[in-house]
Amino acid sequence: MSFFADILDTVQSGCYNKVNELAYNHQENIARFSAIYVAPIDILCETLKRPLMTIELLAYAIINALGKLLIILNVISNDNRYDFKSSISCFEGSLINFVSTPVAIVIAPIKLTYQLFAIAIDPKNVSPFCSCYCIED
C-alpha cells in the first residue's frame, strides 16, 4: 500500500469502527445520526486517494529513473533498488490514477448517497468503500 492510501484507510476504518461500536452498544440511533459526518469523511477519503496516488507514483517513477541514471553514470554504487522497469510501472500507475480521478469525482455523490442510507438503515453492517481500483505499484 502507499503512504497516503494507508493514512486515508486508517481514517476510514476508524470512523466505521466507531459507528459499529455505537451500534453494537445498543446506541443505534446515535450510530444512525453519525452518518451525517461519517459518510462524507469516507467518500472524501476515497475520492482523495486517486490524486494522491497519482502524485506518489509519479514521485516513485522519477526517483527510480534518476537512481538508475545515476548508477549508469557511476555517480552512485550499483544498487538493485533502482531500475527503469519499476519507473515505467510507477509512471503507468500514475497515469491510470490521473485519468480515473474525474470518474471518481463524478461517482462521489452517488457513493455518498448510498453510504448515508446504508449507515442510517443498518449501522451494524457498514464498512468503508473499497479502493480496489486504485492502481499502485
Contacts (Cβ under 8 Å, ≥6 apart) of 43: 108, 111, 112, 115, 129
All three cell numbers of 93: 500507475
All three cell numbers of 97: 490514477
- The model's pLDDT over 13-45, given as tens digits with 9 standing for 90+, comes to 888 888 878 878 877 788 788 878 888 888 898
What does the pLDDT read at residue 132?
55
Q: What is the pTM of this model?
A: 0.76
Q: How confident is the model at residue 55 (pLDDT cuts 50, 70, 90)?
A: very high
What are the sequence ranges of the domains in the chain? 3-118
- The model's pLDDT over 108-122, given as tens digits with 9 standing for 90+, comes to 999 999 988 888 888
Q: How confident is the model at residue 83 (pLDDT cuts 50, 70, 90)?
A: confident
Q: Is the pLDDT of residue 102 over 90?
A: yes
What does the pLDDT read at residue 13?
84
